[in-house]
Amino acid sequence: MTSLALSHTEPRRLGPLGTASALLLPIAVVNAIGFLWPVVNLLKMSFREAQASGALGAGYNLDTWTNALTDSFTLELITNSVGVSLLITVLTLIASYPIALYLHRSTGTWRTVLMVLVVAPLLTSAVVRTYGWIAILSDRGLVANALMALGMAEPPRLMFNLTGVVIGLTEILMPYMILALLSGFGRLDPRLEEAALTLGASPLKTFWRVVLPLTAPGMALGGLLCFVLAISSFVTPKLLGGGRVFLLATEIYDQAIVTLNWPLAAALSMIVLVVFGISLTLYARALRRIA
Amino acid sequence: MDERPVSPALKIAAGLMFLFLLAPLLVVLPISFSGDDFMAFPPSSWSVKWYGAIFANSVMMNAFWISLALAFVVTVLSLGIGLPAAYALVRLKPPGAEALANLFSAPLLLPTIVLGLALLLVFAPMGLIGSFQGLVAAHLIVTLPYAVRVLSTALANLPLTVEEAAGMLGARPLTVFFRVTLPMMRSGLVSTTALCFLVSFDEVVLSLFMTGPRLQTLPVAMYNHVDQQADPMAAAISVLLVVLTLAVVLVVDRTAGLTRTFVK
Amino acid sequence: MIHAEPTEMTRLAQGQGFLSLRGLTRRYDHFTAVDDLNLDVAKGELVAFLGPSGCGKTTSLRMIAGLVPASSGHIVVDGRDLTGVAPYKRDMGLVFQSYALFPHMDIARNVAFGLEMRKVPKAEAAQRVKEAIAMVRLTGREHHRPAQLSGGQQQRVALARALVVRPSILLLDEPLSNLDAKLRDEMRTEIRDIQKRLGITAIFVTHDQMEALTICDKVVVMNHGRLEQVGTPHEIYEHPKTAFVAGFVGRINRLPGRASGGVAQVAGITVSAPGFDGPVDVMVRPHRMILSTGPVPADAGLHQLSGTVTRATFAGDILEYEVEAAGTLLKTEASTRGGEALLAPGTPVTLSWRPQDTFVYPAS
Amino acid sequence: MNAAYKFGTLCLLAAGLMAGPAAAETNLTVMAYSGLFQERYTKAVIEPFMKAHPDIKVTFFPLPSSAAMLGNLRAQKAAPQADVVIMDVSVSKAGTDEGLFTKIDETNIPNVKDLYPNARIPSVAGVGVTFDNLVLLYNAEQVKEAPKSWMEMAKAPYKGKVVIPGVPDIQGLGLVLILNKANGGTDYLANVDKGLAAVAEIAPNVQTWEPKPEVYAPIITGQAALGVGYNARAQVNSEQSGGKIKATIPQEGTIFQINTINLVAGAPAADAAKTFVNYALSPEAQKSFTETMFYAPTNSKAEITGAALDRTAVKNLDKVMSVDWIALAQVRDKIAEQWRRRVLPASR
């Protein structure tokens, strides 16, 4: 500041940096207390000594990690979770693509109505939607009763197994996928399709050669999102799985709340984070290849 | 944009997938009017008794009021903390603003089950489990990133010249903020409010870790209810929640534009 | 950092202009946007800052407004040093290219905003708002929102909003760039009229030379952050000090030549070039070159060049030609007032012009 | 209603929640089993209690299993939310070892003096409040004759028709212990391999390990044919459903199950909690609960009608294998882990 200016400017209490720090302080505090510290603590917890009764020992060791990583049950849990999440991601993509494409091509009020129909489920509690699936898939539910009315004596079991979990999660993750696809469809100018058609490509070929590659980034984003949400989802597998579907997330909850092995729960959480990190890397790599 | 023909195949596929997407929400409506004591579809008789049952159920009603108060407090705090942060990040651009912005949105990337566990482990020794303060803190962790992101985008999209114009006309920075910047961010504020409110009101995983016998949120009470007895009352509550959500979505669409709020 | 002494203060206050810029400089990390700008603007004068984009004219304006801090130098208005003073205390009016109206307020409230900030009593404010809106011919639109008005109307609101507070200086940042050609002409006249009527000191930033020449009392031509020339429109056009000014204000033909002993040899002719030595650029405006098919009397005192038409274009009011002469392509034009026909390419022609229309600059 | 008013109400509500519940009446939170237990216990014990103590408001916090209750208590150890917990004795032992409970004896709960000796367990802070035993449940329409063996559940006709509340629920655990002994296992504290192997044979037939709302409902409706449950609740369900569900004790025998009532250490309403526990152990509460729910009483002074007593665990004492639940508490988690590895995969 120049001293020349002093007759007309009042001394500033805070410089821009000071003001910025003051404005950022509250969120920094929340972030530190509610995020950074708990996550660091979680990592620490995975090295705590676990005792048989579920109480925590005072010391730190590698037991939880060595047990978890050499245990076929945990390893199966990881591969299962990854496999099921991948399956759900693919199904979600298949189910969401037509909706997103149709939405992208619709206009005006109709588009708004459809958007509401996509967003409303997203904002409706997963508990509500899972309950809806119980109503559809249970033994006395919509599908079973419809099949019995059609003369099927023993309708297939759709709930309390992996089938139910996959169906429910696919639907629950669809809005995320649709929105991700839509954000990626920005590059899809309908004129490009018209250009391809006028150049002699069949509609199918146009879709395969023009539409699909252009929408690939949206698909990658949606895929990442759904995979991560699927592998960390817990309410739906818990309610639709009937205690027979074991995924990392349900296991974390059980270990934390029921079996009370906090170090193991923490270690499993770290494994989820590692899987998450790997998928993020793969996504970044895929995106670079597409672009 | 001009009309472009949509192939019938796409129409049919999209229609079917929409049906699948909306099925669980559609099916709860008839069930909520079930006269049966257990959940079955189709119900064998009809009644509105389950709606009455909600209001007679003190656990649900308490949970509803707690969720409402919680969502309200969390929304107010999210705006109160998120707005200054967004302003600092977008307008004052301190060194490392981008890294800070990433740090502040990082909790969104963390799977909620992991975040829930992490919070449980630090909140439990502090006696915050089952406390309103604990719930507020937990919800803030997930609503704040939304708030900062939506508000930052809203701020960044504002034409700076309008604020400069106000300054040139003699308005002090604080006056500019309240008289010009804030009113121009209206749609961003509406979106943020709606988003924070709904995220907090619907949050179930973190809440499951944070609630206790004396303090349950509505989604947790519903989760426990569905987990223990999936009777038609859950359907009646679901219908009310879907109606609430739709109302919020419509308000947002009217004031802020749905696409702008939820896409990207 | 500047350590001002009282003596310097006095010197600054004694600057000749109502607005004085002294050594105004704006440096960024890797380039200097405005370099040592010195300028005096008299009270009631309208000065245009003219230059290509990135020349520093807008940065200069924003430094005057206080929206960009000066790296060094001073801004003095009416004897008062405003350097470092916050924009909201400078009492200047700024009209933006993008209008920058408050979208959430109606027209009347937009215009009233500055008065409100100055705590002008309500009744007086209402009266002044009414007058300002009448001045820009928008009476009856007081309660419209900006989005309901056309671009020209919005810009008039912006003008009224800036003027209603009776600022010491009116700053206009490319105010007409977002308007279509016809509206631009109208608005230009309107701005000039209002500025004259109010006798307000104004700075008008533009990249459009026509706009600059027609609207202002004085043109400041800038390039690469430096001031190239200051003068009346006539001076700038007829006596451009640098090759840049000659080329930027109006069209120009360029002929390379060589100077020695006060004259320059170019394309076989000799032009006066006092004070030059070495390679030079000789420049002549296309419409000052007369194109003739027959011989030109040698005693007319005109410079002459023979050449061949390489391209001919009919453009309605005029005929545009490209002529190859002495290995250079030169542009020229002919009037169609007498119903002249277009010459065919290949026609041998003579180009002639008055010696005083010849500009000589060191070769670039 | 105007917006400002609503805003104010919400603020007050929020402030109230921050400050904790109002002190006008004491809020007592009783944590216990969900489902039928909640319904009957509320009617038989809690409502009469509240009538007798109008200054205490009891909230019933239901959870499906004792293990879930322990988890809840542990998370809230620093600031307990529940005052009284009714849970299985072996889980109660774990809680006691972790210092979650206040020791109950004659000094703080007078009615303890009248309890049967086996309701007072030295190493557990709480005392027994109900006795019950495990039964094999069956749908009377689908299963005409009472099954003779627990292993009936492994038979082909019952594919997808068996419901068992799985470990860590005591019902699943009890089944393991019974079958372990039946298959020649000697020391269940050392290992229960034989029991787990037997349950793994049943596992492919299991429809769900988490029956909702409880194991009884699917059997009553016919969604399931066989299941494992408790005698007390089976009796009530059988009565309510007009005999659609029946219970039997197969030849392999059964186990005794003790529910303890516990005072949570550092509970917010500690005094009211003692009043409640004393009432819950009183002869009249025990009588009332036994007659509505058919749990055998733990208070020797409770005068139960013969008809009701005949339907409780008391009648089945000869078929009960003894289980040292206290010793078992130490290996409970180990068994749970093995269950997850060896039984659950067989049901996938």
C193-213 pLDDT per residue, tens: 999 999 999 999 999 998 999
By DSSP bridging, strand C348-353 and strand C303-314 are antiparallel
Cβ–Cβ of B234/A121 closer than 8 Å? no
d(CA D171, CA A275): 36
Cβ–Cβ of D81/B214 closer than 8 Å? yes
Candidates B133, B140, B229, partner chain D, best to mutate (most D CBs within 10 A): B229
Cβ–Cβ of A141/B230 closer than 8 Å? no
The predicted-structure confidence for B34-77, as pLDDT tens digits, reads as follows: 888 777 778 888 888 889 988 888 888 989 999 999 999 999 99
Type of residue at C126:
A
Type of residue at B125:
P
* Contact residues, chain B, for D212 at CB < 8 Å: 227-230
* Section C310-335 average pLDDT: 89
Res D10: pLDDT: 53
DSSP element (H, E) containing D17: helix D3-19
CA D318 to chain A, closest CA, distance in angstroms equals 32
Res D6: pLDDT: 53
A16 touches chain C (CB under 8 A): no
Question: Which has more confidence, C41 or B253?
Answer: C41
Beta bridge partners of D229: D135
* Section D168-184 average pLDDT: 89
d(CA C175, CA B161): 13
The predicted-structure confidence for D7-60, as pLDDT tens digits, reads as follows: 555 555 555 554 444 445 788 999 998 888 888 899 889 999 999 999 998 988
Touch of C by D (3+ CB pairs closer than 8 Å): no
User: For residue A5, is pLDDT > 60?
Assistant: no
| Whole-number percent of chain D with pLDDT over 70 | 92
Name which of C151, C177, C178, C175 is nearest C163 in CA terms.
Answer: C175
The predicted-structure confidence for D177-203, as pLDDT tens digits, reads as follows: 999 998 988 888 888 899 999 999 999
Res D7: pLDDT: 54
Beta bridge partners of C73: none
Res C9: pLDDT: 45
The shortest CB-CB distance from B22 to any of A121, A203, A252 is to A121
Type of residue at C231:
G
* Contact residues, chain B, for A119 at CB < 8 Å: 249, 258, 262
Res A291: pLDDT: 66
Res B9: pLDDT: 85
Two structure tokens written together for D260: 């303890």
Res C11: pLDDT: 45
- List residues of chain B with CB under 8 Å from any CB of chain D: 38, 65-66, 68-70, 72-73, 120, 124-133, 209, 212-215, 224, 227-231
User: For residue D252, is pLDDT > 60?
Assistant: yes
Q: What's C348's DSSP letter?
A: E
If you search the block for the tokens 């089944």, which residue do you land on? D175
Cβ–Cβ of B82/A34 closer than 8 Å? no
User: For residue A66, is pLDDT > 90?
Assistant: no
d(CA D268, CA C107): 62
By DSSP bridging, strand C269-272 and strand C303-314 are unpaired
For chain B, which domains are there? 58-262 (1.10.3720.10)
CATH superfamily entry for domain A72-290: MetI-like (1.10.3720.10)
* Section D79-107 average pLDDT: 89
Two structure tokens written together for B99: 């890294």
Query: D170-201: buried (b, 16+ CB within 10 Å) or exposed (e) per residue?
Result: bbbbbbbbbbbbbbebeebeebbebbbbbbbb
Tell me if B136 sits within 8 A of B70, measured CB to CB. yes
Tell me if A164 sits within 8 A of A133, measured CB to CB. yes
* SS3 call for D84: strand
What is the CATH code for C251-362? Answer: 2.40.50.100
Q: Using CB atoms, list chains with 3+ pairs below 8 Å to chain D.
A: A, B
> What is chain B's mean pLDDT, rounded?
87
Q: What's C204's DSSP letter?
A: E
Radius of gyration of the CA atoms of chain C, in A: 25
By DSSP bridging, strand C201-206 and strand D245-248 are unpaired
A42 touches chain B (CB under 8 A): yes
For chain D, which domains are there? 24-130+257-303 (3.40.190.10), 132-255+321-347 (3.40.190.10)
Give alpha helix (H) positions in A138-188: 142-149, 162-184
> Does residue B68 come out as left (phi exceeding 0), alpha (psi in the -120 to 50 range) or beta?
alpha
Please report the number of interchain residue pairs, chain B to chain D, with beta-carbon separation below 8 angstroms.
Answer: 83
Compute how many other C-beta atoms are within 10 angstroms of the C-beta atom of residue D302. 21
Candidates A240, A247, A260, partner chain D, best to mutate (most D CBs within 10 A): A260
Q: Give, to the nearest 10 degrees, the angle between helix A162-184 and helix A126-137.
A: 130
- Determine the Cα angle at C237 with ends C235 and C242, to 5°: 85
Res C10: pLDDT: 44
The shortest CB-CB distance from C100 to any of B162, B170, B179 is to B162
B182 touches chain C (CB under 8 A): no
Res D9: pLDDT: 54
Cα nearest neighbour of C89 on chain A: A8
Res D13: pLDDT: 52
pLDDT-based confidence at A53, cuts 50/70/90?
low
Res C204: pLDDT: 95
Q: Which of B7-21, C64-78, C314-328, D326-340 has the lowest mean pLDDT?
A: D326-340
* Contact residues, chain C, for B171 at CB < 8 Å: 88, 113, 117
Two structure tokens written together for D247: 């219970």
C85 touches chain A (CB under 8 A): yes
**What contacts D247, CB < 8 A, 6 or more positions away?**
D135, D136, D137, D138, D229, D231, D234, D235, D238
Cα nearest neighbour of C169 on chain B: B168
Type of residue at C326:
A
d(CA D192, CA D111): 38
Res C5: pLDDT: 44
CA A249 to chain B, closest CA, distance in angstroms equals 6
* Contact residues, chain D, for A52 at CB < 8 Å: 330-331, 333-334
Res C42: pLDDT: 92
pTM above 0.90, yes or no: no
Q: Which of A203-207, C267-271, C284-288 has the lowest mean pLDDT?
A: A203-207
The shortest CB-CB distance from A260 to any of D70, D166, D334 is to D70
A125 touches chain D (CB under 8 A): no
* Contact residues, chain C, for A4 at CB < 8 Å: 2, 4, 9, 74, 81, 83-84
If you search the block for the tokens 């245009």, which residue do you land on? C48
User: For residue A56, is pLDDT > 80?
Assistant: no
* SS3 call for D57: strand
User: For residue A95, is pLDDT > 60?
Assistant: yes
CA D330 to chain A, closest CA, distance in angstroms equals 6
pLDDT-based confidence at C116, cuts 50/70/90?
very high
d(CA D256, CA B100): 60
User: For residue A228, is pLDDT > 90?
Assistant: no
Res D20: pLDDT: 46
Beta bridge partners of C328: C325
Q: Which CATH class is domain C6-243?
A: alpha beta
Cβ–Cβ of A52/D207 closer than 8 Å? no
Res C348: pLDDT: 92
CA D136 to chain A, closest CA, distance in angstroms equals 20
Compute how many other C-beta atoms are within 10 angstroms of the C-beta atom of residue C329. 13
* Contact residues, chain A, for D221 at CB < 8 Å: 140
Burial of D2 (0-12, 13-18, 19+ CB in 10 A): exposed
The shortest CB-CB distance from D209 to any of A52, A73, A244 is to A244
Name which of C195, C221, C196 is nearest C207 in CA terms.
Answer: C221
If you search the block for the tokens 């698909």, which residue do you land on? A219
The shortest CB-CB distance from C86 to any of A2, A3, A9 is to A9
Cβ–Cβ of A125/B264 closer than 8 Å? no
* Contact residues, chain A, for B103 at CB < 8 Å: 31
Tell me if C96 sits within 8 A of C179, measured CB to CB. no
* Contact residues, chain D, for B209 at CB < 8 Å: 75
pLDDT-based confidence at C242, cuts 50/70/90?
very high
* SS3 call for C254: strand
Compute how many other C-beta atoms are within 10 angstroms of the C-beta atom of residue C7. 8
d(CA D130, CA D118): 11
User: For residue A256, is pLDDT > 90?
Assistant: no
Q: Which of A168-172, B84-88, B229-233 has the lowest mean pLDDT?
A: B229-233
How many CA atoms, within 13 angstroms, populate the side-chain half-sphere of residue D51? Answer: 8
| Alpha carbon distance, N-terminus to C-terminus of chain B | 21
User: For residue C2, is pLDDT > 90?
Assistant: no
The predicted-structure confidence for B85-134, as pLDDT tens digits, reads as follows: 999 999 888 888 889 998 998 888 888 899 999 998 898 888 888 889 99
d(CA B246, CA C159): 45
User: For residue D295, is pLDDT > 50?
Assistant: yes
B162 touches chain C (CB under 8 A): yes
pLDDT-based confidence at C16, cuts 50/70/90?
low
pLDDT-based confidence at C57, cuts 50/70/90?
very high
d(CA B153, CA B166): 21
> What is chain C's mean pLDDT, rounded?
89
Main-chain phi, psi angles of A155, to 5 degrees? -65, 150
* Contact residues, chain A, for B170 at CB < 8 Å: none
| Whole-number percent of chain D with pLDDT over 90 | 25
Locate the domains of chain C by residue range.
6-243, 251-362
A33 touches chain D (CB under 8 A): no
A2 touches chain C (CB under 8 A): yes
Cβ–Cβ of A242/D208 closer than 8 Å? yes
If you write DSSP's letter for every residue of A30-91 in order, what string do you get? HHIIIIIHHHHHHHHHTTEEE-TTSPEEEEE-SHHHHHHHH-HHHHHHHHHHHHHHHHHHHH
Residues 183-222 of D with CB under 8 A from B: 212-213, 217, 221
Q: Is the peptide bond before D147 cis (omega within 30 degrees of 0)?
A: no
B183 touches chain C (CB under 8 A): yes
If you search the block for the tokens 């003190």, which residue do you land on? B58
